[in-house]
Structure 1
Amino acid sequence: RAAFDGRIAQIYQDGRDEVEVRVQLPQDQRERLSTLSRITIRVPDGRFVPLTQVMNLDHRQGFQALRHAEGRLAVEVTSGLNTRVSTTDQILTSLEAEALPDIASRYNVRYSFEGRAADQRETLGDMQTGLVIGLALMYVVLAWVFASWSLPLIVMAIIPFALVGALLGHWLMGLQLTILSLFGLFGLSGIVVNNAIILVAFYNQQRKKGLDITDALNEAAVQRVRAVMLTSLTTIGGLLPLLFETSLQAQFLIPMATSIAFGLGLSTLLVLLVVPALLSWLEQFREWRARRHGEMAEPIGAPE
């Protein structure tokens, strides 16, 4: 070992630097395996004999470094990805279902997906918690503004349709669902409710003025359609240049822009149909409940 790694013969101070003097074989000899066969070692009787007389040398491929994970030897396997052939999720799913369980049972080893896969798992876990908290806060704010427990549900009912539009946009654009796509879905959830709020708030005002259900719904859809379309089209128009940008830097943001643009586009078309239908059903339910209890149905914006 001293012949190849060297042995420290002296350490001296050179200004602020500490210099080690190491004695070892010349570099050209250290780089040849044949040097091992010429090395001599001392045997118990004091003689020096060649290394090949006391041991058999065998050549095989080894590891450059031994890595440990949680106190156990570990091997890190990395690879590149050709996105034209497959995706990360498809490869990980295939390995999880076929190759890795067989290797683990045959050689008694454990495996785990680390690197980007581990970061993605952690991010998805945090996003699930954030999604629950975000939706809960959204519901609380809407319930406080409308003074109703049911109207926030109608406003938030447009969110699933926006998610469908975002997924449809990824399919049309030939994009894979990425972490940035999910970030776009988060932002989309807060954007699409604006159109529903406009309709519900205007409908609520018309009902308080004394209009019946059908007239109030018609007024809300007719009077607010321009505001709904303008707010959505301006947002989508601002994202269009990014959707068709070809630079490398833009490729990371295109999935997020796709989620927002297509999700907002589909939800804008459906909000004028879904929200009035849900409001009509809610009014019918309130009237049925009032008749059942022998009471007068109050306006939909009244506290419940």
Structure 2
Amino acid sequence: IYSVSNEIKANINGVTASRYRDGGNEIDILVQLTEDDRAQILDLEQIFVTNSMGQRIPLSSFAYYERGESPVSINRENQMRTIHVTARKIDWRQSSGEVQRLVEQIIRENVVLGDDVRLTYGGSYESLQEGLNQFAVIIIMAIILVFAVMASQFESFLDPFIVLFTIPLSVIGIVAVYFLTGSPLNMITAVGALVLVGIVVNNGIVLVDYTNLLRKRGYSLEEACVEAARSRLRPILMTTLTTVLGLLPMAFFPGEGSEMTQPIGQSVLGGLSFSTAMTLFLMPVMYYIFNRIREKRAEKRLRKVARKEGKSVK
């Protein structure tokens, strides 16, 4: 079969017999049947094949032909036959996840797969999943570093923990702005989320630091929370507003070639706006709750010590 295939291929497609040199160029000398002798399928009957005894035998004496279809090539991966089906998005506003779900639905409704057939998805969707997994690790590392810096600044583990509550709030803002604009979530969105980790904590740091200062001046816990939220309202709003206004052109009025920067602008704008609004209301409450719990535990420990020493603490 191999010799028959090679003979047909040599007669129809030709075989390089030699090369002609013209200066520094080489030109292949191709030997094949003339155009008239290979124009029709019937011409295959005129092809001769050499057998193991060196005899020339016409192909028509032991083979027949018929029209049919066969794969141009057979690809294998890990010794398994593989077929690659590729497609391209028509609507750029669709995310890779949406296209993936659409493809899975079409295959599920229209294609019957045997038990020996396995589907795997790759391309931009696979790259997106791998990139998001990597960015998840990077964002976690960034949060740990931010926590370490704040812990050294506040000399406490509780205050940085309170400030970190602004990060989940920023995620809600990111999802909200993408939902309102109809833009797809992509890899650049994760970059914007990474940038937000170092930005959204700033307002919380300002608020918690000023609350601690008021506590040192003799304010009660409740008075310090209320006064800090009231007096820090204007500085926090002004700094956030200047950042948001600066990001508006990049987020909603992009120019040509700004497809890579627009998602970052939308992520930072949405996350910062929502987290700032929630920080002004939620952060004092969180500060009050956690510090009230800490004070109660401290009072409980003092009472235990006092009972052991035969004293009373009122």
Identify the match of residue 149 of structure 1 among 153, 157, 160.
Answer: 157
Contact kept, 8 Å, 1:103 with 1:109, in 2: the verdict is no
Structure-2 separation of matches of 1:256 and 1:33: 61
Q: 1:244-283 residue pairs with structure 2 within 5 A?
A: 244-245=252-253, 247-283=255-291
Task: Name the residue aligned to 1:22.
Answer: 30
- The size of the alignment, in residue pairs, is 294
Identify the match of residue 231 of structure 2 among 219, 223, 237.
Answer: 223
Task: Name the residue aligned to 2:216.
Answer: 208
Identify the match of residue 75 of structure 2 among 67, 73, 77.
Answer: 67
AA aligned to 1:89 is G
Task: Name the residue aligned to 1:300.
Answer: none
Identify the match of residue 187 of structure 1 among 172, 184, 195.
Answer: 195
Structure-1 separation of matches of 2:160 and 2:39: 74
Query: Which structure is richer in relative contact order (CA contacts within 8 A, separation 6 or more)?
Result: 1
Return the offset for 1:34. Answer: 5.1
Structure-2 separation of matches of 1:162 and 1:29: 74
Task: Name the residue aligned to 2:312.
Answer: none
SS of the residue corresponding to residue 59 of structure 1 reads coil
> How many percent identity over aligned positions?
27
| TM-score, with length taken from structure 1 | 0.84
Q: 1:1-304 residue pairs with structure 2 within 5 A?
A: 1-11=9-19, 13-26=21-34, 33=41, 35-42=43-50, 46=55, 48-49=57-58, 51-83=59-91, 87-93=95-101, 95-96=103-104, 99=107, 106=114, 108-245=116-253, 247-294=255-302
SS of the residue corresponding to residue 16 of structure 2 reads strand
Of stretches 155-164 and 67-76 in structure 1, the one that deviates more from structure 2 is 67-76
Unmatched segments (≥5 aa) in structure 2: 1-8, 304-314
Return the offset for 1:109. Answer: 2.3
Structure-2 separation of matches of 1:34 and 1:145: 89
Structure-1 separation of matches of 2:243 and 2:34: 70
Return the offset for 1:221. Answer: 1.5
Quickly say closer, same or farther: Cα 1:286–1:15, change in 2 above 3 A: same
Quickly say closer, same or farther: Cα 1:26–1:221, change in 2 above 3 A: farther
Of stretches 92-101 and 20-29 in structure 1, the one that deviates more from structure 2 is 92-101
Task: Compare CA radii of gyration and give the structure with the larger one.
Answer: 2
Structure-2 separation of matches of 1:233 and 1:54: 86
* Cα shift readout 1:66-118 (whole Å, capped 9, x = no counterpart): 33323433111012334389653234235557836996851612221122122
AA aligned to 2:244 is I
Structure-2 separation of matches of 1:221 and 1:162: 19
Contact kept, 8 Å, 1:81 with 1:87, in 2: the verdict is no
AA aligned to 1:178 is N
Contact kept, 8 Å, 2:96 with 2:124, in 1: the verdict is no
Unmatched segments (≥5 aa) in structure 1: 296-304
* Cα shift readout 1:208-230 (whole Å, capped 9, x = no counterpart): 22222223223322222222112
| TM-score, with length taken from structure 2 | 0.81
Return the offset for 1:166. Answer: 1.0
